[in-house]
Amino acid sequence: MSEVSLPRVCFATLLTTDSYLHGALTLAASLRETGTKYKIICLVAEGQLSKPALERLSSAFDRVVSVPVLDTHDYANLALLGRPDLGATVTKIAVWSLTEYDRVAFLDADTLVLEPIDSILENAADGSGSGGRPNGGMQNEGLLAAAPDLGWPDCFNSGVFVAKPSESTHANLLKMLATQGSFDGGDQGLLNAYFNDWSRADHTHRLPFSYNTTSTSFYTYAPAFARFSSDIKVVHFIGPHKPWKHQRLITGYIMGNSKGLSKFVEKWWHIHDAHVSFWSPGILFDKLIALSLSDSFKPVTEEAAEEVVAIGSHAMDDSWKRDGSDYLSVDESRATANDDWGSFTPAPDFMLSSGSSSPTRSTGSPRSS
Ligand code: GLC
Ligand code: MN
């Protein structure tokens, strides 16, 4: 009997710190729940994750690939973004080095898959373009499809995209990182600078927004959310608040219970509890309260949440009530950037040496200049 050979494609995510572990595990479980026929791999920043975290990843993913850690250390632009913790996300460009695959569908660890999405690995632009334009109208090769970013829709959001790995694209991205950096200090600024004509390319390069529905859309365009929310295939919990960063019972509240997001936060917890761990990555307190309230966990109510908040929590940041934004001011973001669960391992000291073609690892010795 001959085996049916699958195309050389896969889903991938990236972890640069233990603090996103439950995000990655829940993402993988959500993708498996859709019955995907493709492999799911996890890129891990070399030397950054604990042994227990790596063990969990090895059993949840088909493959764990260690990749060199990169970091912009560009605190000025990261401050503009309001996320000082995102410098190491440029490690993501390792996706283009995975030349054993023809296509890689990348999903951030803070995404949750709700519906089957295998088709993005099958139907995404193949680079030839449908309108007869070479490479579908894009100057640089390597990006097959992405969805717009809500903050600046001529940019794509780099939390979900389909890439065509290639040595030369990878080398070009490393070079751009070393010579120009990233305009937002993270991967999205770099990738949008490299693939800067994405918004003018043929439609085959554009993923529907339902493949990367960023959580801010729930309150920036509520009527569209009401109209299209049943189409959402991938929800992306952007911003500093993540489901796993708060106790279960108050997550929906913290992340905007009244704004439509809570059902997706509930879904995240449902998949987390069923496949990753019964225990919250936060403290157990929330689960105990939930058990005492009902036989099964009920959706969060504002009153219940308020009560828990009143009792006390590490997650008492109410900044979302003030500005309704996912991107906080730098000070607010700093206050929430570090988790208080899991072992947060700071990235080692990497610096971009100007003029060199690739970012270099600094040695333990003091910098000479
Ligand atoms: C956006 C993207 C995310 C990226 C960040 C920094 O939030 O969704 O993937 O890491 O920008 O560039
Ligand atoms: Mn993200």
CA of 108 to the centre of ligand 2 (A): 5
Domain identity same for 258 and 345: yes
- State which ligand 1 atom lies nearest to the alpha carbon of 189: 12
Question: In this structure, is residue 362 part of a structural domain?
Answer: no
**What pLDDT shows up at residue 285?**
52
- State which ligand 1 atom lies nearest to the alpha carbon of 182: 12
Residue 257 has pLDDT above 80, yes or no: no
Residue (of 368, 345, 369, 353) closest to 88 by Cα position: 345
pLDDT tens-digit map of 208-232: 999 999 988 777 888 898 899 999 9
Domain identity same for 201 and 263: no
CA of 311 to the centre of ligand 2 (A): 30
**What pLDDT shows up at residue 187?**
98
Residue 346 has pLDDT above 70, yes or no: no
Show the CA angle centred on residue 255, arms to residues 158 and 273, nearest 5°: 85
Residue (of 107, 89, 103, 98) closest to 48 by Cα position: 89
Question: In this structure, is residue 368 part of a structural domain?
Answer: no
Answer for the pair 271, 30: CB distance below 8 angstroms, yes or no: yes
Question: In this structure, is residue 361 part of a structural domain?
Answer: no
CA of 108 to the centre of ligand 1 (A): 8
Domain identity same for 235 and 337: no
User: What single DSSP character describes residue 9?
Assistant: E
Instruction: Give the residues across from 351 on adjacent strands.
Output: 360
Last residue of one domain, picked from the residues 240, 269, 296:
240
Domain identity same for 209 and 335: no
Averaged pLDDT, 230-244 = 92
Instruction: Give the residues across from 113 on adjacent strands.
Output: 234
CA of 222 to the centre of ligand 1 (A): 23
Residue (of 174, 99, 165, 171) closest to 127 by Cα position: 165
Confidence of residue 241 (pLDDT cuts 50, 70, 90): confident
Question: In this structure, is residue 24 part of a structural domain?
Answer: yes
- State which ligand 1 atom lies nearest to the alpha carbon of 86: 6
- Identity of the amino acid at 9: V
- State which ligand 1 atom lies nearest to the alpha carbon of 89: 10
Q: Which ligand is nearest to the CA of 87?
A: 1
Q: Which residues contact 289 (CB under 8 A, 6 or more apart)?
A: 249, 308
Domains in the chain: how many in total? 2
Answer for the pair 78, 56: CB distance below 8 angstroms, yes or no: no
Domain identity same for 314 and 167: no
Question: Which CATH number does the domain housing residue 171 bear?
Answer: 3.90.550.10
Q: Which residue has the higher pLDDT, 76 or 248?
A: 76
Instruction: Give the residues across from 162 on adjacent strands.
Output: 105, 145
Ligand 1 test: best mutation among 188, 191, 236, 237, most atoms within 8 Å of CB? 188
pLDDT tens-digit map of 178-198: 999 999 999 999 999 999 999
| Residue listed under structure tokens 């309108």 | 131
Question: In this structure, is residue 369 part of a structural domain?
Answer: no
CA of 86 to the centre of ligand 2 (A): 10
Residue 359 has pLDDT above 50, yes or no: no
Q: Which ligand is nearest to the CA of 185?
A: 1
Question: In this structure, is residue 217 part of a structural domain?
Answer: yes
Residue 60 has pLDDT above 50, yes or no: yes
CA of 324 to the centre of ligand 1 (A): 18
Confidence of residue 79 (pLDDT cuts 50, 70, 90): very high
Residue 101 has pLDDT above 90, yes or no: yes
Domain identity same for 123 and 252: no
**Which residue's CA is the closest to the ligand 1 atom numbered 6?**
186
Residue 36 has pLDDT above 70, yes or no: yes
Domain of 123 in residue numbering reads as 9-240
Question: In this structure, is residue 4 part of a structural domain?
Answer: no
Q: Which residue has the higher pLDDT, 200 or 123?
A: 200
pTM: 0.78
Helix (H), strand (E) at residue 11? strand 9-15
Domain identity same for 146 and 221: yes
CA of 158 to the centre of ligand 1 (A): 6
Last residue of one domain, picked from the residues 205, 240, 275:
240
Pocket of ligand 1 (CB under 6 A): 86, 89, 108, 157-159, 184, 186-189, 238
Confidence of residue 16 (pLDDT cuts 50, 70, 90): very high
Question: In this structure, is residue 337 part of a structural domain?
Answer: yes
Domain identity same for 156 and 266: no
Domain identity same for 223 and 272: no
Domain identity same for 187 and 323: no
**What pLDDT shows up at residue 54?**
97
Last residue of one domain, picked from the residues 240, 270, 305:
240
Domain identity same for 71 and 181: yes
Domain identity same for 129 and 270: no
| CA–CA distance, 361 with 97 (Å, rounded to integer) | 18
Residue 311 has pLDDT above 90, yes or no: no
- State which ligand 1 atom lies nearest to the alpha carbon of 81: 6
CB atoms within 10 A of CB 365: 6
Q: Which ligand is nearest to the CA of 234?
A: 2
Residue 287 has pLDDT above 90, yes or no: no
Averaged pLDDT, 245-263 = 71
Token pair for residue 325?
């934004």
**What pLDDT shows up at residue 189?**
98
